[in-house]
Amino acid sequence: MRITTYSDYSLRLLMLLAIEEERLVTISEVAEAYDISRAHIMKVAHQLGIAGLVETVRGRSGGLRLAKPPEVIRIGEVLRLTEPDFDMVPCFEAPDMCRITSGCLLKNALGEATSAYLGVLDRYTLADLVADQRALKALLAV
């Protein structure tokens, strides 16, 4: 399976906020650290704010911070928020589109695989992804 660029940027933003828990991080800092456009990061930050994962502080000294401790943010939860769907084949959404739907076991197998995929990601938290904060800070030059 492949995640969207939007989900990738969401996870990267959350990781940077997790290693910089002691301070507010600006959109520009995130964009520069990852060499990503400010517009993309602004969109991601806005949506993660609506979802209750990121807190935005407006004003001259404003910025972003995690709205929850990294230990409680599950990676599977983030992907469920940021991915448009997990339909691996068209019949997940439109069962009538395929002639063999009533006798096909592929949908069940793929559904089980998707559940396993998300189940593994649910075992990991944001804290797990940033366990080596020193290395991440060095790589991101923050």
Average pLDDT for 120-139? 95
Residue 66 Cα distances to 1, 49, 56, 104, 113, angstroms: 27, 9, 9, 44, 31
Q: How confident is the model at residue 102 (pLDDT cuts 50, 70, 90)?
A: confident
Average pLDDT for 13-19? 97
pLDDT of residue 16: 97
Domains, the chain = 5-140 (1.10.10.10)
pLDDT of residue 99: 82
Q: How confident is the model at residue 100 (pLDDT cuts 50, 70, 90)?
A: confident
pTM: 0.88
Element (H, E) at 64: strand 63-66
pLDDT of residue 132: 93
**Within 13 Å of residue 121, how many CA atoms lie on the same side as its CB?**
16
Rounded-to-integer distance, Cα 130 and Cα 95, Å: 41
Q: Say if residues 19 and 137 touch (Cβ distance below 8 Å).
A: yes
Residue 56, strand partner residues: 64
- pLDDT surpasses 80 at 107: yes
Rounded-to-integer distance, Cα 76 and Cα 138, Å: 27
Q: What are 40-63's pLDDT values in tens digits?
A: 999 999 999 999 999 999 888 899
The region that residue 23 occupies, defined by phi over 0 for left and psi between -120 and 50 for alpha, beta otherwise, is beta
pLDDT of residue 45: 96
- pLDDT surpasses 80 at 93: no
The region that residue 94 occupies, defined by phi over 0 for left and psi between -120 and 50 for alpha, beta otherwise, is beta
Q: Say if residues 30 and 16 touch (Cβ distance below 8 Å).
A: yes
Q: How confident is the model at residue 89 (pLDDT cuts 50, 70, 90)?
A: confident
Q: Among 72-86, 101-115, 128-142, which is the least confidently predicted range?
A: 101-115
